[in-house]
Amino acid sequence: AHVINVALVGNPNCGKTSLFNVASGAKEHVGNYSGVTVDAKSGHFDYKGYRFNIVDLPGTYSLASYSPEELYVRKYLRDATPDVIINVVVASNLERNLYLTTELIDMDRSMVIALNMYDELEKRGDRLDYKLLGSMIGVPVVPTVSRTGQGLNELFDTVIDVYEGRDEDVRHVHVNLGEDIERGVTAVKDLIKAEPDVSPRFSPRFIAIKLLEDDAEVIRLVESLPGSAQIMEATRAEQQRIELMRKEDASSAIADEKYGFIAGALAETLVKGDQDRNNPT
């Protein structure tokens, strides 16, 4: 049978472990606890002739390299290279949850979004055109309620489609960071692409953005490359240029652009129920 390696990635408390339990029949602890150890649980199940190996990764708000959870998830995505990432997001808190999504998009990996706690979104009376959102970001979006298992067949059907390369919503879209920053990303990315030995598992775009953000781990990675002096010099120059244009450091400018992109995408796809109620016209 075909084996599909799947990793669950998402913010803390977005319902990853619930999804993992329902899908794999495991009984991992679910709830608002903060674990002492940072690790991953793995399980497996068979569906439609495929063997799914599924890994429940620690919750993270971003793929920066500040916390042990972030470093763990990053290392996992780089070294274990799951075939398909399931990015679990909280449907009623997309402004925050989609930040991590933008970083996964930078990584340029096969991915499906589980729009989890969809029951909460419906209860609030919010309406989201999730198909349009998916086509805007180039990632298929499937509503789920991982506590009950609702939507999980559709989710894993979509994982199969993405794995087999037949989902029409999958496009290589990237989150456009605006002219000032994109120029810097391209300059650094082109130097990284020219390196023979750069970690093939982090995309050149992800590495370039992380360099511009002063990411300590990615700087160490790049420092081991033959062309590191030139890459770091270009990074510093582009950071200074961006700072001059934007009057803020490059990493803040990148975060602002990402949150702006998310806000723009949600403005086109999300109608909040309580908004309608609070602002009668």
Q: Using the rule CB under 6 A, which residue among 83, 108, 120, 256 binds ligand GDP?
A: 120
Pick from 140, 127, 55, 139: which is nearest to 91 by CA?
127
Instruction: For residues 96 and 245, give the distance between their C-alpha atoms in angstroms, rounded to a whole number.
Output: 26
Pick from 136, 159, 162: which is nearest to 269 by CA?
136
Nearer Cβ to ligand GDP (138/149): 149
**Binding residues among 132-151 for ligand GDP as defined by CB under 6 A:** 145-147
The answer to whether 35 is annotated as binding is yes
Phi and psi at 165, nearest 5°, equal 70, 30
Question: Which run of H or E residues covers position 110?
Answer: none
Instruction: For residues 247 and 260, give the distance between their C-alpha atoms in angstroms, rounded to a whole number.
Output: 17
Q: Using the rule CB under 5 A, which residue among 5, 17, 24, 235 binds Mg ion?
A: 17
Instruction: For residues 29 and 210, give the distance between their C-alpha atoms in angstroms, rounded to a whole number.
Output: 33
Dig out the tokens for 200 from the structure: 């093939």
Shortest Å, Cβ 59 to Mg ion: 6
Residue whose beta carbon is closest to ligand GDP: 15
Q: Using the rule CB under 6 A, which residue among 5, 9, 16, 24 binds ligand GDP?
A: 16
Q: Using the rule CB under 6 A, which residue among 83, 119, 157, 243 binds ligand GDP?
A: 119
Nearer Cβ to K ion (13/42): 13
Cβ proximity of 97 and 10 under 8 Å: yes
The answer to whether 17 is annotated as binding is yes
**Binding residues among 190-229 for ligand GDP as defined by CB under 6 A:** none
Shortest Å, Cβ 41 to ligand GDP: 10
Size of the site for ligand GDP (CB under 6 A): 18
37 touching ligand GDP, by CB under 6 A? no
The answer to whether 59 is annotated as binding is yes
Shortest Å, Cβ 133 to K ion: 25
Give the contacts of 273 (CB within 8 A, at least 6 positions apart).
124, 125, 126, 127
Of ligand GDP, K ion, Mg ion, none, which one does residue 120 interact with (CB within 5 to 8 Å by kind)?
Answer: ligand GDP
Give the contacts of 33 (CB within 8 A, at least 6 positions apart).
none
Burial of residue 264 (number of CB atoms within 10 Å: 0-12, 13-18, 19+): exposed
Nearer Cβ to ligand GDP (155/208): 155
Q: Identity (one letter) of the amino acid at 121?
A: L
Q: Using the rule CB under 6 A, which residue among 15, 82, 184, 204 binds ligand GDP?
A: 15
Q: List for the chain the helix, strand, coil content (%; round to 5).
A: 50, 15, 35
**Binding residues among 4-33 for K ion as defined by CB under 5 A:** 13
Phi and psi at 107, nearest 5°, equal -75, -20
Binding residues vs ligand GDP (CB under 6 A): 10, 12-18, 30-31, 59, 116-117, 119-120, 145-147
**Chain residues in the site for Mg ion (CB under 5 A):** 16-17
Q: Which parts are annotated binding residues? A: 10-17, 21, 24-25, 35-39, 56-59, 116-119
Q: Kindly list the residues in this chain that would bind K ion in the complex (CB under 5 A).
A: 13
